[in-house]
A = this chain, B = another copy of it.
Protein backbone atom coordinates (compact mmCIF):
# COMPACT_ATOMS: atom_id res chain seq x y z
CA UNK A 1 0.00 0.00 0.00
CA UNK A 2 1.16 3.51 -0.72
CA UNK A 3 2.08 5.93 2.04
CA UNK A 4 -1.11 7.97 1.64
CA UNK A 5 -3.91 5.49 1.04
CA UNK A 6 -6.14 8.18 -0.44
CA UNK A 7 -3.74 8.61 -3.36
CA UNK A 8 -3.40 6.00 -6.09
CA UNK A 9 -0.77 3.42 -5.13
CA UNK A 10 2.75 4.42 -6.12
CA UNK A 11 3.67 0.86 -7.00
CA UNK A 12 2.65 -0.55 -10.38
CA UNK A 13 2.24 -4.15 -11.48
CA UNK A 14 2.87 -4.13 -15.21
CA UNK A 15 0.92 -6.77 -17.09
CA UNK A 16 1.57 -8.40 -20.46
CA UNK A 17 -1.47 -10.06 -22.02
CA UNK A 18 -1.11 -12.80 -24.63
CA UNK A 19 -4.27 -13.64 -26.55
CA UNK A 20 -6.83 -10.95 -27.32
CA UNK A 21 -10.00 -12.90 -27.97
CA UNK A 22 -13.12 -11.91 -26.06
CA UNK A 23 -11.55 -12.77 -22.68
CA UNK A 24 -8.24 -11.02 -23.32
CA UNK A 25 -10.05 -7.91 -24.58
CA UNK A 26 -12.30 -7.98 -21.50
CA UNK A 27 -9.24 -8.17 -19.21
CA UNK A 28 -7.60 -5.19 -20.93
CA UNK A 29 -10.90 -3.30 -20.79
CA UNK A 30 -11.56 -4.05 -17.12
CA UNK A 31 -8.05 -2.98 -16.06
CA UNK A 32 -8.28 0.28 -18.00
CA UNK A 33 -11.85 1.06 -16.87
CA UNK A 34 -11.40 0.60 -13.10
CA UNK A 35 -7.86 1.71 -12.20
CA UNK A 36 -8.78 3.44 -8.95
CA UNK A 37 -10.97 0.76 -7.41
CA UNK A 38 -8.65 -2.04 -8.45
CA UNK A 39 -5.62 -0.09 -7.25
CA UNK A 40 -7.17 0.31 -3.81
CA UNK A 41 -7.85 -3.42 -3.58
CA UNK A 42 -4.55 -4.57 -5.05
CA UNK A 43 -2.29 -2.05 -3.33
CA UNK A 44 -0.73 -1.44 -6.73
CA UNK A 45 -1.74 0.07 -10.06
CA UNK A 46 -2.53 -2.80 -12.43
CA UNK A 47 -1.36 -1.58 -15.83
CA UNK A 48 -1.32 -3.44 -19.11
CA UNK A 49 1.88 -2.45 -20.87
CA UNK A 50 2.18 -4.98 -23.69
CA UNK A 51 -0.03 -7.38 -25.62
CA UNK A 52 0.30 -10.11 -28.19
CA UNK A 53 -2.22 -11.70 -30.53
CA UNK A 54 -2.43 -13.16 -34.00
CA UNK A 55 -4.31 -10.36 -35.66
CA UNK A 56 -3.13 -6.84 -35.03
CA UNK A 57 -5.86 -5.00 -36.92
CA UNK A 58 -9.00 -6.70 -35.61
CA UNK A 59 -11.40 -4.36 -33.77
CA UNK A 60 -11.70 -5.39 -30.13
CA UNK A 61 -13.48 -2.48 -28.48
CA UNK A 62 -10.44 -1.57 -26.38
CA UNK A 63 -7.73 0.94 -27.18
CA UNK A 64 -4.50 -0.91 -27.88
CA UNK A 65 -2.67 2.12 -29.26
CA UNK A 66 -0.77 2.96 -26.02
CA UNK A 67 0.35 -0.65 -25.55
CA UNK A 68 3.44 -2.32 -26.92
CA UNK A 69 2.68 -5.09 -29.41
CA UNK A 70 4.56 -8.36 -29.79
CA UNK A 71 3.87 -10.72 -32.69
CA UNK A 72 5.60 -13.49 -30.74
CA UNK A 73 3.79 -14.07 -27.44
CA UNK A 74 6.93 -15.40 -25.75
CA UNK A 75 8.58 -12.05 -26.26
CA UNK A 76 6.25 -10.70 -23.54
CA UNK A 77 8.19 -12.76 -20.99
CA UNK A 78 11.42 -11.03 -21.95
CA UNK A 79 10.17 -7.45 -21.83
CA UNK A 80 11.58 -5.31 -19.04
CA UNK A 81 8.23 -3.48 -18.76
CA UNK A 82 6.26 -6.67 -18.02
CA UNK A 83 6.15 -7.87 -14.38
CA UNK A 84 3.48 -10.53 -14.84
CA UNK A 85 2.29 -12.50 -17.86
CA UNK A 86 -1.36 -13.35 -18.58
CA UNK A 87 -1.70 -16.29 -20.96
CA UNK A 88 -5.05 -16.45 -22.78
CA UNK A 89 -3.91 -18.11 -26.00
CA UNK A 90 -5.35 -21.54 -25.23
CA UNK A 91 -4.32 -24.99 -26.35
CA UNK A 92 -2.45 -27.56 -24.28
CA UNK A 93 0.87 -27.09 -26.11
CA UNK A 94 2.25 -24.78 -28.79
CA UNK A 95 2.63 -21.05 -28.16
CA UNK A 96 0.73 -21.13 -24.83
CA UNK A 97 3.11 -23.67 -23.31
CA UNK A 98 6.14 -21.95 -24.80
CA UNK A 99 5.02 -18.65 -23.26
CA UNK A 100 4.25 -20.23 -19.87
CA UNK A 101 7.71 -21.78 -19.69
CA UNK A 102 9.33 -18.54 -20.84
CA UNK A 103 7.50 -16.44 -18.24
CA UNK A 104 8.36 -18.75 -15.34
CA UNK A 105 11.88 -19.18 -16.68
CA UNK A 106 12.26 -15.40 -16.59
CA UNK A 107 11.07 -15.39 -12.97
CA UNK A 108 7.75 -13.71 -13.79
CA UNK A 109 4.41 -14.65 -12.26
CA UNK A 110 1.97 -16.30 -14.64
CA UNK A 111 -1.83 -16.08 -14.75
CA UNK A 112 -3.59 -18.42 -17.14
CA UNK A 113 -7.12 -19.54 -18.03
CA UNK A 114 -5.74 -22.54 -19.89
CA UNK A 115 -7.26 -25.71 -18.45
CA UNK A 116 -5.93 -27.93 -21.24
CA UNK A 117 -2.33 -26.82 -20.70
CA UNK A 118 -2.53 -27.30 -16.93
CA UNK A 119 -4.35 -30.65 -17.17
CA UNK A 120 -1.47 -31.92 -19.32
CA UNK A 121 1.53 -29.99 -18.01
CA UNK A 122 0.38 -28.66 -14.63
CA UNK A 123 2.88 -30.56 -12.49
CA UNK A 124 5.79 -29.48 -14.66
CA UNK A 125 4.69 -25.83 -14.67
CA UNK A 126 4.05 -25.88 -10.91
CA UNK A 127 7.58 -27.17 -10.32
CA UNK A 128 8.98 -24.44 -12.59
CA UNK A 129 6.97 -21.74 -10.79
CA UNK A 130 8.07 -22.92 -7.37
CA UNK A 131 11.70 -23.25 -8.46
CA UNK A 132 11.53 -19.66 -9.68
CA UNK A 133 9.73 -18.58 -6.51
CA UNK A 134 6.87 -16.96 -8.44
CA UNK A 135 3.13 -17.58 -8.39
CA UNK A 136 1.24 -19.42 -11.10
CA UNK A 137 -2.48 -18.79 -10.75
CA UNK A 138 -5.38 -20.21 -12.77
CA UNK A 139 -8.70 -19.22 -11.21
CA UNK A 140 -10.20 -18.66 -14.68
CA UNK A 141 -9.29 -22.16 -15.86
CA UNK A 142 -12.06 -23.86 -13.86
CA UNK A 143 -15.69 -22.75 -13.73
CA UNK A 144 -15.04 -19.27 -15.17
CA UNK A 145 -16.07 -16.56 -12.75
CA UNK A 146 -16.69 -18.85 -9.77
CA UNK A 147 -13.76 -18.55 -7.34
CA UNK A 148 -13.52 -22.28 -6.84
CA UNK A 149 -9.74 -22.63 -7.16
CA UNK A 150 -9.50 -20.23 -4.22
CA UNK A 151 -12.40 -22.04 -2.61
CA UNK A 152 -10.56 -25.34 -2.65
CA UNK A 153 -6.93 -24.32 -2.18
CA UNK A 154 -7.56 -21.52 0.31
CA UNK A 155 -11.13 -21.49 1.64
CA UNK A 156 -11.24 -25.24 2.22
CA UNK A 157 -7.50 -25.57 2.95
CA UNK A 158 -8.14 -26.96 6.43
CA UNK A 159 -10.23 -29.86 5.16
CA UNK A 160 -9.69 -33.46 4.24
CA UNK A 161 -11.74 -33.39 1.04
CA UNK A 162 -13.35 -36.67 0.07
CA UNK A 163 -15.23 -35.59 -3.05
CA UNK A 164 -15.34 -32.68 -5.45
CA UNK A 165 -17.94 -32.69 -8.20
CA UNK A 166 -19.52 -30.20 -10.50
CA UNK A 167 -21.19 -28.99 -13.62
CA UNK A 168 -18.10 -27.78 -15.44
CA UNK A 169 -19.24 -27.35 -19.02
CA UNK A 170 -21.84 -24.71 -19.74
CA UNK A 171 -22.51 -25.92 -23.27
CA UNK A 172 -23.58 -29.37 -22.08
CA UNK A 173 -25.69 -27.93 -19.29
CA UNK A 174 -27.34 -25.53 -21.72
CA UNK A 175 -28.20 -28.44 -24.02
CA UNK A 176 -29.51 -30.72 -21.23
CA UNK A 177 -31.53 -27.86 -19.69
CA UNK A 178 -33.04 -26.91 -23.05
CA UNK A 179 -33.92 -30.53 -23.86
CA UNK A 180 -35.69 -30.79 -20.51
CA UNK A 181 -37.44 -27.44 -20.65
CA UNK A 182 -38.48 -27.52 -24.28
CA UNK A 183 -38.89 -31.24 -24.87
CA UNK A 184 -36.61 -31.15 -27.89
CA UNK A 185 -34.08 -33.72 -28.98
CA UNK A 186 -30.31 -33.48 -28.60
CA UNK A 187 -29.46 -32.80 -32.26
CA UNK A 188 -32.02 -30.05 -32.53
CA UNK A 189 -30.87 -28.26 -29.36
CA UNK A 190 -27.21 -28.64 -30.31
CA UNK A 191 -27.91 -27.00 -33.67
CA UNK A 192 -29.61 -24.11 -31.90
CA UNK A 193 -26.74 -23.80 -29.39
CA UNK A 194 -24.36 -23.56 -32.34
CA UNK A 195 -26.49 -20.84 -33.95
CA UNK A 196 -26.51 -18.91 -30.64
CA UNK A 197 -22.77 -19.26 -30.14
CA UNK A 198 -23.09 -21.47 -27.05
CA UNK A 199 -21.49 -24.36 -28.91
CA UNK A 200 -18.59 -24.49 -31.35
CA UNK A 201 -18.95 -25.57 -34.96
CA UNK A 202 -16.98 -28.66 -33.88
CA UNK A 203 -18.70 -29.33 -30.56
CA UNK A 204 -16.87 -32.53 -29.62
CA UNK A 205 -14.53 -30.83 -27.15
CA UNK A 206 -17.56 -29.81 -25.08
CA UNK A 207 -20.15 -32.51 -25.64
CA UNK A 208 -17.76 -35.44 -25.41
CA UNK A 209 -16.67 -34.23 -21.97
CA UNK A 210 -13.04 -33.32 -22.79
CA UNK A 211 -13.35 -29.75 -21.51
CA UNK A 212 -14.98 -30.92 -18.26
CA UNK A 213 -12.29 -33.59 -17.92
CA UNK A 214 -9.53 -30.95 -18.08
CA UNK A 215 -11.27 -29.07 -15.28
CA UNK A 216 -11.95 -32.05 -13.02
CA UNK A 217 -8.27 -33.04 -13.37
CA UNK A 218 -7.35 -29.62 -11.93
CA UNK A 219 -9.95 -29.76 -9.16
CA UNK A 220 -8.75 -33.25 -8.22
CA UNK A 221 -5.18 -32.00 -7.94
CA UNK A 222 -6.26 -29.13 -5.69
CA UNK A 223 -8.52 -31.31 -3.56
CA UNK A 224 -6.30 -34.34 -3.11
CA UNK A 225 -2.75 -33.07 -3.56
CA UNK A 226 -2.18 -35.25 -6.64
CA UNK A 227 -0.53 -34.42 -9.97
CA UNK A 228 -3.13 -33.24 -12.47
CA UNK A 229 -3.46 -36.15 -14.85
CA UNK A 230 -5.95 -35.71 -17.65
CA UNK A 231 -5.15 -39.20 -18.99
CA UNK A 232 -6.62 -40.78 -15.87
CA UNK A 233 -10.04 -39.14 -16.16
CA UNK A 234 -12.62 -41.64 -17.40
CA UNK A 235 -14.64 -39.47 -19.76
CA UNK A 236 -17.96 -39.75 -21.51
CA UNK A 237 -20.17 -36.97 -22.79
CA UNK A 238 -23.82 -36.25 -23.44
CA UNK A 239 -24.30 -37.60 -26.99
CA UNK A 240 -25.98 -40.78 -25.75
CA UNK A 241 -28.57 -38.94 -23.61
CA UNK A 242 -32.02 -38.96 -25.18
CA UNK A 243 -35.00 -36.78 -24.56
CA UNK A 244 -36.70 -39.93 -23.26
CA UNK A 245 -33.99 -40.34 -20.61
CA UNK A 246 -34.49 -36.80 -19.42
CA UNK A 247 -38.26 -37.28 -19.28
CA UNK A 248 -38.01 -40.59 -17.43
CA UNK A 249 -35.45 -39.18 -15.00
CA UNK A 250 -37.76 -36.26 -14.32
CA UNK A 251 -40.68 -38.58 -13.68
CA UNK A 252 -38.53 -40.43 -11.14
CA UNK A 253 -37.51 -37.20 -9.35
CA UNK A 254 -34.11 -36.63 -10.97
CA UNK A 255 -32.46 -34.38 -13.49
CA UNK A 256 -29.75 -35.39 -15.94
CA UNK A 257 -26.51 -33.42 -15.61
CA UNK A 258 -23.04 -33.94 -17.04
CA UNK A 259 -20.85 -34.09 -13.93
CA UNK A 260 -17.15 -34.01 -13.37
CA UNK A 261 -16.41 -36.06 -10.30
CA UNK A 262 -13.25 -36.77 -8.31
CA UNK A 263 -13.43 -38.77 -5.11
CA UNK A 264 -11.29 -40.77 -2.80
CA UNK A 265 -12.12 -44.45 -3.08
CA UNK A 266 -10.04 -46.55 -0.68
CA UNK A 267 -6.38 -45.78 -1.42
CA UNK A 268 -7.29 -44.66 -4.92
CA UNK A 269 -8.78 -41.71 -6.69
CA UNK A 270 -11.79 -41.91 -8.97
CA UNK A 271 -11.84 -39.23 -11.70
CA UNK A 272 -14.77 -39.21 -14.08
CA UNK A 273 -16.86 -37.08 -16.39
CA UNK A 274 -20.24 -38.63 -17.18
CA UNK A 275 -23.97 -37.97 -17.35
CA UNK A 276 -25.57 -38.55 -13.97
CA UNK A 277 -29.09 -38.52 -12.52
CA UNK A 278 -29.11 -35.91 -9.74
CA UNK A 279 -31.90 -35.96 -7.15
CA UNK A 280 -34.11 -32.88 -7.51
CA UNK A 281 -33.37 -31.62 -4.01
CA UNK A 282 -29.58 -31.75 -4.53
CA UNK A 283 -28.22 -28.28 -5.35
CA UNK A 284 -26.61 -29.46 -8.60
CA UNK A 285 -30.08 -30.36 -9.92
CA UNK A 286 -31.11 -26.72 -9.80
CA UNK A 287 -28.23 -25.47 -11.96
CA UNK A 288 -29.84 -24.46 -15.25
CA UNK A 289 -28.68 -23.17 -18.58
CA UNK A 290 -25.06 -22.27 -19.18
CA UNK A 291 -24.24 -21.92 -15.45
CA UNK A 292 -21.48 -23.88 -13.75
CA UNK A 293 -21.44 -25.19 -10.17
CA UNK A 294 -19.05 -27.05 -7.90
CA UNK A 295 -19.64 -29.08 -4.74
CA UNK A 296 -16.80 -29.63 -2.27
CA UNK A 297 -17.37 -32.28 0.39
CA UNK A 298 -14.84 -32.45 3.19
CA UNK A 299 -14.17 -32.87 6.86
CA UNK A 300 -14.82 -30.82 8.97
CA UNK A 301 -16.62 -28.32 6.73
CA UNK A 302 -19.29 -30.64 5.34
CA UNK A 303 -20.71 -29.71 1.95
CA UNK A 304 -19.90 -26.43 0.21
CA UNK A 305 -21.72 -25.41 -2.98
CA UNK A 306 -20.62 -22.71 -5.43
CA UNK A 307 -22.60 -21.56 -8.48
CA UNK A 308 -22.06 -18.91 -11.13
CA UNK A 309 -21.19 -18.15 -14.73
CA UNK A 310 -18.71 -20.71 -15.99
CA UNK A 311 -17.75 -18.95 -19.18
CA UNK A 312 -18.10 -15.68 -21.05
CA UNK A 313 -15.76 -12.75 -21.36
CA UNK A 314 -16.86 -10.86 -18.22
CA UNK A 315 -16.89 -13.70 -15.67
CA UNK A 316 -13.60 -15.09 -17.00
CA UNK A 317 -11.99 -11.64 -16.90
CA UNK A 318 -13.22 -11.32 -13.30
CA UNK A 319 -11.25 -14.46 -12.40
CA UNK A 320 -8.12 -13.38 -14.29
CA UNK A 321 -8.09 -9.98 -12.61
CA UNK A 322 -8.71 -11.57 -9.18
CA UNK A 323 -5.48 -13.51 -9.74
CA UNK A 324 -3.67 -10.29 -10.67
CA UNK A 325 -4.97 -8.64 -7.48
CA UNK A 326 -3.72 -11.61 -5.43
CA UNK A 327 -0.29 -11.37 -7.06
CA UNK A 328 -0.14 -7.61 -6.46
CA UNK A 329 -1.03 -8.23 -2.80
CA UNK A 330 1.98 -10.53 -2.60
CA UNK A 331 0.01 -13.72 -2.01
CA UNK A 332 2.21 -16.79 -2.25
CA UNK A 333 1.04 -20.34 -2.11
CA UNK A 334 1.99 -23.58 -3.82
CA UNK A 335 0.37 -23.80 -7.28
CA UNK A 336 -1.86 -26.78 -6.45
CA UNK A 337 -2.12 -26.06 -2.72
CA UNK A 338 0.82 -28.23 -1.66
CA UNK A 339 4.43 -28.02 -2.93
CA UNK A 340 4.82 -29.47 -6.42
CA UNK A 341 7.37 -32.01 -5.18
CA UNK A 342 4.76 -33.39 -2.79
CA UNK A 343 2.06 -33.89 -5.43
CA UNK A 344 1.32 -37.61 -5.40
CA UNK A 345 0.81 -39.76 -8.46
CA UNK A 346 -2.94 -40.42 -8.55
CA UNK A 347 -3.66 -44.12 -8.08
CA UNK A 348 -6.73 -44.78 -10.19
CA UNK A 349 -9.42 -46.59 -8.29
CA UNK A 350 -11.44 -49.28 -10.03
CA UNK A 351 -14.60 -47.55 -11.27
CA UNK A 352 -16.37 -50.90 -11.12
CA UNK A 353 -16.01 -50.89 -7.33
CA UNK A 354 -18.13 -47.73 -7.06
CA UNK A 355 -21.36 -48.46 -5.23
CA UNK A 356 -24.71 -46.84 -5.80
CA UNK A 357 -28.03 -46.95 -7.59
CA UNK A 358 -28.07 -46.82 -11.38
CA UNK A 359 -30.41 -45.75 -14.13
CA UNK A 360 -30.51 -48.08 -17.14
CA UNK A 361 -32.18 -47.50 -20.47
CA UNK A 362 -32.49 -50.13 -23.16
CA UNK A 363 -33.96 -49.87 -26.64
CA UNK A 364 -35.64 -53.21 -27.28
CA UNK A 365 -37.68 -55.03 -29.88
CA UNK A 366 -41.38 -54.74 -29.12
CA UNK A 367 -42.11 -58.45 -28.75
CA UNK A 368 -42.90 -60.92 -25.95
CA UNK A 369 -40.06 -62.40 -23.87
CA UNK A 370 -37.64 -59.48 -24.04
CA UNK A 371 -38.20 -58.48 -20.46
CA UNK A 372 -37.54 -62.04 -19.29
CA UNK A 373 -34.21 -62.16 -21.12
CA UNK A 374 -33.11 -58.81 -19.69
CA UNK A 375 -34.24 -59.74 -16.20
CA UNK A 376 -32.31 -63.01 -16.38
CA UNK A 377 -29.10 -61.24 -17.41
CA UNK A 378 -29.42 -58.80 -14.51
CA UNK A 379 -30.15 -61.62 -12.08
CA UNK A 380 -27.12 -63.59 -13.30
CA UNK A 381 -24.91 -60.66 -12.30
CA UNK A 382 -26.65 -60.05 -9.00
CA UNK A 383 -28.17 -56.75 -10.07
CA UNK A 384 -31.47 -56.14 -8.37
CA UNK A 385 -34.09 -53.81 -9.82
CA UNK A 386 -35.86 -51.25 -7.67
CA UNK A 387 -38.26 -49.95 -10.31
CA UNK A 388 -39.02 -50.49 -13.95
CA UNK A 389 -40.85 -48.37 -16.49
CA UNK A 390 -41.71 -49.37 -20.01
CA UNK A 391 -43.03 -46.30 -21.83
CA UNK A 392 -45.53 -47.26 -24.55
CA UNK A 393 -43.85 -47.75 -27.92
CA UNK A 394 -45.23 -45.81 -30.87
CA UNK A 395 -44.40 -45.88 -34.54
CA UNK A 396 -41.75 -43.15 -34.29
CA UNK A 397 -40.57 -44.15 -30.83
CA UNK A 398 -39.06 -47.59 -30.33
CA UNK A 399 -39.82 -49.65 -27.24
CA UNK A 400 -37.74 -48.49 -24.28
CA UNK A 401 -37.08 -50.24 -21.03
CA UNK A 402 -36.07 -47.94 -18.18
CA UNK A 403 -34.86 -49.38 -14.88
CA UNK A 404 -33.47 -48.14 -11.60
CA UNK A 405 -31.29 -50.61 -9.71
CA UNK A 406 -30.93 -51.03 -5.98
CA UNK A 407 -27.60 -49.85 -4.59
CA UNK A 408 -24.79 -52.11 -5.72
CA UNK A 409 -21.35 -52.18 -7.31
CA UNK A 410 -21.14 -50.54 -10.71
CA UNK A 411 -19.03 -53.43 -11.95
CA UNK A 412 -21.96 -55.83 -11.68
CA UNK A 413 -24.17 -53.45 -13.65
CA UNK A 414 -21.50 -53.02 -16.35
CA UNK A 415 -21.09 -56.79 -16.62
CA UNK A 416 -24.83 -57.36 -16.86
CA UNK A 417 -25.12 -54.66 -19.54
CA UNK A 418 -22.32 -56.32 -21.47
CA UNK A 419 -24.48 -59.43 -21.71
CA UNK A 420 -27.65 -57.48 -22.37
CA UNK A 421 -26.04 -55.53 -25.23
CA UNK A 422 -25.46 -58.83 -27.00
CA UNK A 423 -29.12 -59.92 -26.80
CA UNK A 424 -30.75 -60.00 -30.22
CA UNK A 425 -33.78 -58.10 -28.91
CA UNK A 426 -31.65 -55.18 -27.70
CA UNK A 427 -31.40 -52.81 -30.63
CA UNK A 428 -28.92 -50.19 -29.40
CA UNK A 429 -26.08 -49.91 -26.90
CA UNK A 430 -27.68 -49.58 -23.43
CA UNK A 431 -27.23 -46.35 -21.50
CA UNK A 432 -26.25 -46.45 -17.83
CA UNK A 433 -26.12 -43.40 -15.56
CA UNK A 434 -25.29 -43.38 -11.84
CA UNK A 435 -27.77 -41.77 -9.44
CA UNK A 436 -26.51 -39.07 -7.10
CA UNK A 437 -27.89 -37.10 -4.21
CA UNK A 438 -30.19 -39.57 -2.48
CA UNK A 439 -27.65 -40.37 0.25
CA UNK A 440 -28.63 -37.71 2.76
Instruction: Name A's B-contacting residues (CB within 8 A).
Output: 1, 5-6, 26, 30, 34, 37-38, 40-43, 130, 139, 145-147, 150-151, 153-160, 225, 281, 283, 286, 298-309, 312-315, 317-322, 324-326, 329-334, 337-342
So how many copies of this chain end up in the complex?
Answer: 2
Residue pairs across A and B with Cβ atoms less than 8 A apart, 8 shown, are: A30-B158, A30-B300, A158-B318, A299-B314, A300-B314, A302-B308, A304-B307, A305-B308
Q: Is the CB of A301 within 8 A of B145?
A: yes
Contact among B6, B42, B305, B330 with A306 in the assembled complex (CB-CB below 8 Å): B305
Closest Cβ of chain B: how far from A116's Cβ, in Å? Answer: 23
Chain B residues with Cβ under 8 A from A314's Cβ?
A: 299-302
* Contact flag A158-B1 (CB < 8 Å), given A40-B338, A302-B145: no
Contact among B157, B312, B317 with A158 in the assembled complex (CB-CB below 8 Å): B317
Contact among B146, B281, B305, B342 with A40 in the assembled complex (CB-CB below 8 Å): B342
Q: Is the CB of B286 within 8 A of A300?
A: no
* Contact flag A5-B342 (CB < 8 Å), given A147-B156, A304-B308: yes
Q: How far is the CA of A334 from the CA of B39 in the complex (A)?
A: 12
Contact among B130, B300, B331, B342 with A329 in the assembled complex (CB-CB below 8 Å): B331
Interface of A, helix, strand, loop or mixed by DSSP: mixed
Q: How far is the CA of A127 from the CA of B209 in the complex (A)?
A: 49
Q: Is the CB of B5 within 8 A of A145?
A: no
Most B CB within 10 A of own CB, among A155, A314, A317, A319? A155
Chain B residues with Cβ under 8 A from A299's Cβ?
A: 314
Closest Cβ of chain B: how far from A162's Cβ, in Å? Answer: 13
With both beta carbons as reference points, the residue of chain B lying nearest to A147 in the complex is identified as: B155
Most B CB within 10 A of own CB, among A156, A286, A300? A300
Contact among B42, B158, B309, B313 with A321 in the assembled complex (CB-CB below 8 Å): B158
Q: How far is the CA of A156 from the CA of B155 in the complex (A)?
A: 14
Contact among B325, B337, B341 with A157 in the assembled complex (CB-CB below 8 Å): B325
Q: Is the CB of B318 within 8 A of A156?
A: yes
